A = this chain, B = another copy of it.
């Protein structure tokens, strides 16, 4: 069956619910105020998203306490969260950690954590550098032995708000995944200053900490790779949301502002740049939808779809955000205008879960395009 690249009616309804909530609770002024006050997240909004909209359990099967939807719906939520640069740990918890948990073999421990995270009772994250790209070698920063973990990982997304940590670690027999309680005394989660103000990052250190193993060497590497791939695919939709806000707000701004007796929007050089952005957004959306669909159906083409979507959408969102700042002129350079929140998100997203060049390198061999020797 041909992949559906449109938004289904259910997806449109989901989008509307999320957008309504965010319009109400997370307008750009509010996000700016939070940044001003040094708050790096919005726990109340996160709680509402999880418990009232079920946004944290979309692609979790019914029997594990989820909605039984798919990555397509997760991507729709990500798109809206991107449009609002909402400061919630969706990527870390509902996407990366949840996808990793879903990949692990069923079992009492895993199922309990997954159900808690899906229900919004707990928040999780995947303890890898946010810049990790699919296809990389399994991390060796954390060592596991006899159920105890030691090591440190820098620049972990959404670490500070996480109650439980999904930790890739190298044990005696190879790659493993563990769940660690963030409240454990020997875990240090140090929030560091994030370039993307609305997505906090942390350095995480384990000093001989007890963890529960949820994936053995036969599975751990695949689980991690799949989780990071799913993250990258969903991030593409977030980037579409970011890009669309940037284009829309720039169009509105240029229509309102007059210079030399004419609306800025009437200057052809600007019009053509906006038209080019719109073109980019059209192709980015198609690529992001395809990636979401292929992940949702666990298609063989998912790795290609994600490589295409992530490398393209990353550039498009960054370009849209840069144009947004430039075409807003001076006001776009001020802290009081939200454009910078999008610029920071877009630029960080370009690096997050693999830069376009990194994805090119992974994608090429999948389509029989090998780097020159």
Chain A residues in the interface with B (C-beta under 8 A):
267-269, 271-272
Contacts and interface: CB of A to CB of B under 8 A. Distances in A.
A217 B267 CA distance: 63
A271 B272 CA distance: 12
A195 B268 CA distance: 36
Interface of A is mostly: helix
A272 B273 CA distance: 11
Contacts of A268: 267-269
Contacts of A272: 269
6 contacts: A267-B268, A268-B268, A268-B269, A269-B269, A269-B271, A269-B272
A268 B259 CA distance: 15
A273 to B, nearest CB: 8
Contacts of A271: 269
A267 B267 CA distance: 9
A269 B271 CA distance: 8
A268 B267 CA distance: 7
A270 to B, nearest CB: 8
Nearest to A267: B268
A269 B276 CA distance: 12
Nearest to A273: B269
A147 B269 CA distance: 64
A323 B166 CA distance: 53
A176 to B, nearest CB: 31
A162 B271 CA distance: 53
Contacts of A267: 268
Contacts of A269: 268-269, 271-272
A274 to B, nearest CB: 11
A262 to B, nearest CB: 11
A73 to B, nearest CB: 40
Nearest to A272: B269
Query: Would you list the 5 A-B pairs with minimal beta carbon distance, nearest first?
Result: A268-B268, A269-B272, A268-B269, A269-B269, A267-B268
